[in-house]
Amino acid sequence: MSTSSQRAAGILLHPTSLPSRHGVGDLGEGARRFIDWLAEAGLSRWQVLPLVPAGPGDSPYATQAALAGHPLLVDLHGLAAADLLPDDALAAPAFPIDACDFPAVTAFKEARLTLAAEALWAGRNPVWKADFEAFVHEHAWATEAATFLALKEAHGGAAWWDWPAPLRDRETNALAAAVGAQRGAIDRHLARFYFFERQWRELRAYAHERGITIIGDVPIYVDRDSVDVWERRDQFRLDAAGNPEAVAGVPPDFFSKTGQLWGNPLYAWDRMAADGHGWWVRRMRRALEQVDLVRLDHFRGFSAYWEVPADAPDATSGRWVKGPGRALFDDLSRALGSLPLIAEDLGVIDDDVESLRDGLALPGMRILQFAFGEDAAHPFLPHNHRARSVVYTATHDNDTTLGWWQTTTEAVRDHVRRYLAVSGHDIVWDLIRASYASVADLAVTPLQDVLCLDGGARMNVPGIAEGNWRWRVRMAAFNQPLAMRLRALATLYGRSVTTSRERRTPTGQ
């Protein structure tokens, strides 16, 4: 199940953060320029966050359709090039350049996606229309998700457990009648899913042509108010009315003194096991249609998960409950073959988690920001790294490295300076260098760190619902001097695509 052992390096950047002319990153010109820049830098990995339609707080870790792609990522210029939008539809208001104004962007783009859907149905591009019909035929999840979203709209955005009981419970006659009444809205959502699918497929091929593989992200849990729960309530611990018996969270940790109360419904692991974990097989198969490797979020929850009473005000009253363990991954392997996974093994980790990870031969994660301030035994210090792992300066949940450096204690800063034998005047790149020098097979750096940005560029603050996920980069960041600085480090430490190829080429050939 392990990833390739060849040394490599990459960048963590969610597509919403890419530069574009329409207020949010998309799959168009900015994405291609970023891929070209990665190749220029000798890097071979692009790590993204979940590609799903964002949920509350614009979070990619909360969605009403876990198998769908985010319509806001659709490149409108690409739709115009396919004769599905007139050129005058591309004119945009003065959106912020460095941050996403999600409400304004959503209103702007949804109107144009609807126009493009109408042009698609009218046959303005026969090739795309035939491809759309094939997409709908081949992906049953798309119709399920489109139906769910259309019904939510028809019910004023109400959660599915507050719908009339016949629809809540998916009674055949009631569901058929509702589908007939909402056919137009369902088709509109299907078109949006298709636009994302086609453009992502083309962008991924573009990346592969340039030697870039894509690391995706699958959160362990899904939202209660989602098609994924409504369509398969039997897979979750819910009562007859759709109310959870208990919910997901994590105990108190570095990020929160009262833990994190996520509120997601918990899986009925015994029922999932009865059909070979078919729900998870479907989800992982879908993920591997979109990306090359999968970062499996909250991996420790597969060993044991934190169960919180449904009415608890915070996560402190939770308890550990044994998870599915190896049985889930054995079923996934039987159905899908070797799984290219990265275990997000952060948080409260015990011997059972490590045993599960190592028994599956999965690389774990090492975060340099967490390494300092304790003693020499800390597993995230570079001298304790191992090859089968991924080293990060930080993740999307951390402050930027410069922001962390500016706000951490003097004791931590002193440890960093002594450990790395540096003055600290170029601390972000000192830590990037340390990650590249690590024996870890893969080093991934958030783009904000490559750009030496402070905490104002932070992507997410765990436990804070609003104001996250907004950061965007400008096109000028993808410049040659910065690419060459990365290439020099990647070459020096054997992570460059070029040096890897040269190392495998016999002398004289």
Strand ranges for 382-425 from DSSP E: 389-392
Phi and psi of 352, rounded to 5°? -65, -40
Identify the sign of the CA torsion 420, 382, 487, 51. negative
Query: How far, in Å, CA of 105 to CA of 300, rounded?
Result: 36
91 and 103 in contact (C-beta within 8 Å)? no
Nearest C-alpha neighbor of 74 from the set 136, 104, 116: 116
Count other C-beta atoms under 10 Å from residue 143's C-beta: 17
Residue reference for tokens 């729900």:
279
The residue annotated as part of the active site, out of 26, 58, 344, 399, is 344
- Give, rounded to a whole angstrom, the gap between the first and last alpha carbons of the chain: 33
Q: Would you say 258 and 252 are in contact if contact means Cβ atoms under 8 Å apart?
A: yes
**Active-site annotation holds for 397:** yes
Point out the catalytic residue in the list 245, 253, 352, 397.
Answer: 397
- Bridge partners, residue 218, by sequence: 296
Which among 446, 453, 433, 463 is positioned nearest to 396, based on CA atoms?
A: 446
Cβ atoms 1, 338 nearer than 8 A: yes
Structure tokens at 476: 């000028």
**What is the helix (H) or strand (E) element at residue 341, kind and residue range?**
strand 341-343
Residue 478 region by backbone torsions, left for phi larger than 0, else alpha for psi between -120 and 50, else beta? beta
Name the 3-class secondary structure at 389: strand
CB 203 within 8 A of CB 69: no
Q: Which of 58, 217, 297, 430 is catalytic?
A: 297
Distances (CA, A) of 85 to 51, 347, 448: 24, 47, 34
441 is catalytic: no
Alpha-carbon distance of 21 to 31, in angstroms, equals 12
Distance between CA atoms of 131 and 188, rounded to whole angstroms? Answer: 16
The residues that are catalytic are: 297, 344, 397
